[in-house]
Amino acid sequence: MGKLDGKTAIVSGSGRGIGRAIALKLAGEGANVVVNDLDTDPANAVVEEITKAGGNAVVCAGSVTAEGFGERFVGTATSEFGGLDIIINNAGYTWDSVIQKMTDEQWDAILDVHLKAPFRILRAAQPVISKAAKAEKEAGTRVYRKVVNISSVAGLTGNPGQVNYSSAKAAIIGMTKTLCKEWGRYNVNVNAVAFGFIETRLTSAAADGNSTIEIEGREIKVGVNPGLLAAAEMMIPLGRPGTPDEAAGAVAMLTYPEADYVSGQLLVAGGGFEA
């Protein structure tokens, strides 16, 4: 018996990295999972991994910033699995510049993916959640649902070159605390996890400084200079970056029944590093 048997989860940005680890962990506890990625192939690969292990999963590919995506994401959960119990707003990337060099396009792109997209997904989920909660109340039952929004230590203390990302990650904390108050009447626990330094393709060392990924037609520079990476490791009390599986564990435990009375909280998964 898994902790999430019979539950249905949607996890944005779950074709790779931390999102993939979250999807696998929730599925391993028995949840049906809707896997999302910009690209179909990585999403399909995660679904295949889940189904081969005996779990249930389907793909909802596409950009979380696209018009109508929130409704399609939520609709996939309800049409394929008959409901929605867990929402993980994880999708995102960084596009860095100091403020005097940051363009409106950079600002808007990062705010859209890290803030507007979660807002739209949660807005689309509200009618489904409120209808289910009303039916459960009339039946005399209480079912807890979970929202976990992904923030960052950059949203707590700022980070040079990331005024867009830091602003979005700070704002998602405000969204979390507000939704905790709005959705408590539906028995929904709304929490956030702020990651510290987690090793993914977006943070891996880039010795040549030229590592990029393509996001919706844009070439985005990624990676961390090895010197900065070494300095960061020295500042982490546990002495190392976290792994995607460790990041996923921090998220997953907030979806378990043991967290039914935890809401409106921010959990920092940073190996002791917060500033």
Per-residue pLDDT, 219: 76
CATH number of 213's domain: 3.40.50.720
Detail the DSSP E strand segments found in 117-187: 145-152
Per-residue pLDDT, 198: 93
The reply to whether 221 falls in a domain is yes
Per-residue pLDDT, 205: 52
Q: What is the mean pLDDT of the chain?
A: 93
- pLDDT for residue 208 is more than 60: no
- Closest to 147 in 3D by CA, of 263, 268, 249: 263
The reply to whether 1 falls in a domain is no
Per-residue pLDDT, 207: 45
- pLDDT for residue 230 is more than 80: no
The reply to whether 154 falls in a domain is yes
Which H or E element spans position 204?
none
The reply to whether 167 falls in a domain is yes
Average of per-residue pLDDT across 169-174: 98
- Confirm whether pTM is higher than 0.85: yes
The reply to whether 43 falls in a domain is yes
Q: Note the pLDDT tens digit of each residue in 34-63.
A: 999 999 999 999 999 999 999 999 999 999
The whole domain housing 217 covers 8-269
The reply to whether 274 falls in a domain is no
Label residue 188 left, alpha or beta by phi (over 0 means left) and psi (-120 to 50 means alpha): beta
- Closest to 65 in 3D by CA, of 115, 5, 9, 99: 115
Per-residue pLDDT, 273: 87
- pLDDT for residue 222 is more than 80: no
Q: Note the pLDDT tens digit of each residue in 116-153.
A: 999 999 999 999 999 999 999 999 999 999 999 999 99
Range of weakest confidence among 61-75, 96-110, 223-237: 223-237
- Annotated catalytic, 165? yes
The reply to whether 176 falls in a domain is yes
The reply to whether 3 falls in a domain is no
* Catalytic one of 93, 144, 165, 186: 165
Fill in the DSSP letter of residue 224. B
DSSP three-state, residue 8: strand
At position 273, the amino acid (one-letter code) is F
Provide the domain count of the chain.
Answer: 1
Cβ–Cβ under 8 Å, residues 173 and 155: yes
- pLDDT for residue 31 is more than 50: yes
**Angle at 242 (CA atoms; ends 107, 223), nearest 5 degrees:** 45
